[in-house]
């Protein structure tokens, strides 16, 4: 794998992590609007974040071998 491919993979991971952070913040906000206490809302937001990251990493695990 060339350096350019590794940098593109790193860029893809950073972008997908940013999308997962936004999804986690949305999950936190929805939980707070629903009346959950802060500690519960943080837990729900983190579950959304880690679920999104798991999905994105699995997607990359399928796409990277197909591209290279």
Residue with tokens 């939980």: 31
Residue with tokens 């350019």: 4
- Residue 45 located in a structural domain: yes
Residue with tokens 């959304």: 48
- Residue 46 located in a structural domain: yes
CB 61 within 8 A of CB 44: no
pLDDT tens by residue, 11-65: 999 999 999 999 999 999 999 999 999 999 999 999 999 999 999 999 989 988 8
CB within 8 A of 32, min separation 6: which ones?
A: 38, 41
Domain of 49, in residue numbers? 20-67
- pLDDT for 22: 97
How many domains are contained in the chain?
A: 1
Residue with tokens 């959950």: 36
């Amino acid at each position: 794998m060339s350096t350019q491919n590794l940098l593109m993979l790193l860029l893809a991971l950073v972008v997908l992590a940013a999308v997962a952070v936004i999804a986690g913040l949305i999950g936190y906000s929805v939980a707070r609007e629903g009346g959950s206490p802060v500690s519960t809302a943080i837990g729900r937001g983190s579950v959304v974040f880690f679920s999104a990251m798991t999905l994105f990493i699995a997607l990359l695990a399928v796409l990277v071998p197909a591209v290279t």
